[in-house]
C-alpha cells in the first residue's frame, strides 16, 4: 500500500492566536477601533443633521451588534467570503489540505480511496434500471426487494444524494453538429427548439439528482482491498435484484464526487485534477 501519511496537523483546540490587546487579537482590536471611529462619525452626523434620537440610537445598536458579531463570531470573515463568492470566481483544488479535511479523503488508488477514519472505501453511483421503483402498482414488490437487499448487506454502507443543475450541453452539441447540414429554415427551428428547452430548464430551476453509495472496509483487515472488492461485488449483484445498477467510480471521479458532495460546489463530472479549477457561483 502506498504511503499516505501527510504529516501532523496541530489540533484546532491547541492552536494559539495572540491576543495582546486587552484579550483581543490584532485584527479584532483594529475592528474595534474602526467601530469606535464609525460611532463617533455617526454621532456627529446625526447631531449636524438634527436627526431624531430614535434614529441615532438605532444606528448605535446596529453598529454595536455588527462589531460584536465581527469580533466574537468572525462575522467579518463570513461577510468577506459571501461578497467574494458573489463577485468573484471561487477556486477549489483537491491538493488543498482544507479540501481533504472536508472531503475526508487521504489518498486515492484506482477504484478505492482511504479516508481519515482508517477505512478503505469505494463509491457506487446508483441508477434505476427501469421505472418500476416509481410505479405505484409495484410499490410492495420494490419494498420487499429493498428489504432483502438491506438484510443481505455484508458491511455498513452510506447513501448520499446530490442535486446539480440539469444540463443539455452534450445533447445540444450533438444536435448542433447535425444542424449545419439542414436547410436554413429547419436549422432555425431546431435552434429555437433548443433555446426553448434551455430557457425552460433555467426558469423552472430544474435540477438533476444523483445518488451515491459509499462502501467501507476496515483497513486493519489482513486484505482490506480484496475484502472491499468482495463487498462491492456482493452489493452490486444485490442492487440489480432491486432494480438498481451501481457503477463504481475510479480515479478523478472519486475526488470530484467527494469534493462536490462535501462542499456543495460544482456539477457532476467537473474536473478537479488541474491545480486550481474555476467554479462559478450558482
Q: Give yes or no for residue 249 having a pLDDT over 60.
A: yes
Count how many domains the chain has: 2
* Top-confidence residue, 151 or 207: 151
Show the domain range for 26: 17-87
**In a shared domain, residues 253 and 140:** yes
The Cα–Cα gap between 69 and 245 comes to 49
Q: Give yes or no for residue 13 having a pLDDT over 60.
A: no
**In a shared domain, residues 98 and 41:** no
Please indicate, yes or no, if residue 201 is contained in any of the structural domains: no
**In a shared domain, residues 118 and 257:** yes
Encode pLDDT of 218-234 as tens digits. Answer: 888 888 899 999 999 99
What does the mean pLDDT of the chain come to?
73
- Last residue in a domain, options 67, 87, 107: 87
Give the pLDDT of residue 88. 54
Contacts of 119 (CB under 8 A, 6+ apart): 216, 217, 218, 219
- Last residue in a domain, options 63, 87, 111: 87
Please indicate, yes or no, if residue 223 is contained in any of the structural domains: yes
Encode pLDDT of 60-88 as tens digits. Answer: 888 888 877 777 767 666 666 666 666 65
CA distances from 87 to 82, 83, 90, 166 (A): 9, 6, 9, 23
What predicted TM-score, i.e. pTM, was given to this entire model?
A: 0.51
Amino acid at each position: 500500500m502506498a504511503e499516505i501519511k501527510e504529516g501532523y496537523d496541530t489540533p484546532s483546540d491547541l492552536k494559539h492566536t495572540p491576543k495582546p490587546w486587552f484579550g483581543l487579537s490584532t485584527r479584532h482590536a483594529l475592528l474595534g477601533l474602526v467601530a469606535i471611529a464609525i460611532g463617533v462619525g455617526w454621532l456627529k452626523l446625526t447631531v449636524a443633521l438634527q436627526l431624531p434620537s430614535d434614529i441615532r440610537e438605532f444606528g448605535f445598536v446596529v453598529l454595536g451588534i455588527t462589531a460584536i458579531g465581527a469580533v466574537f463570531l468572525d462575522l467579518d470573515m463570513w461577510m468577506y467570503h459571501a461578497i467574494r463568492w458573489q463577485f468573484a470566481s471561487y477556486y477549489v483544488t483537491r491538493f488543498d489540505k482544507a479540501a481533504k479535511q472536508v472531503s475526508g479523503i487521504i489518498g486515492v488508488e484506482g477504484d478505492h480511496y482511504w479516508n481519515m477514519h482508517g477505512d478503505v472505501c469505494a463509491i457506487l453511483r446508483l441508477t434505476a434500471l427501469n421505472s418500476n421503483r416509481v410505479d405505484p402498482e409495484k410499490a410492495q414488490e420494490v419494498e420487499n426487494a429493498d428489504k432483502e437487499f438491506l438484510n443481505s448487506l455484508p458491511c455498513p454502507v452510506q447513501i448520499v444524494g446530490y442535486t446539480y443543475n440539469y444540463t443539455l450541453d452534450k445533447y445540444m452539441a450533438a444536435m448542433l453538429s447535425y444542424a449545419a447540414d439542414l436547410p436554413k429554415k429547419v436549422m432555425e427551428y431546431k435552434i429555437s427548439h433548443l433555446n426553448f428547452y434551455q430557457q425552460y430548464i433555467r426558469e423552472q430551476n430544474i435540477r438533476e439528482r444523483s445518488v451515491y453509495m459509499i462502501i467501507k472496509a476496515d483497513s486493519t483487515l489482513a486484505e482490506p482491498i480484496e475484502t472491499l472488492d468482495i463487498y462491492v461485488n456482493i452489493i452490486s449483484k444485490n442492487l440489480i435484484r432491486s432494480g438498481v445498477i451501481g457503477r463504481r467510480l475510479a480515479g478523478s471521479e472519486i475526488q470530484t464526487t467527494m469534493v462536490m458532495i462535501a462542499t456543495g460546489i460544482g456539477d457532476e463530472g467537473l474536473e478537479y485534477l488541474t491545480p486550481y479549477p474555476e467554479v462559478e457561483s450558482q
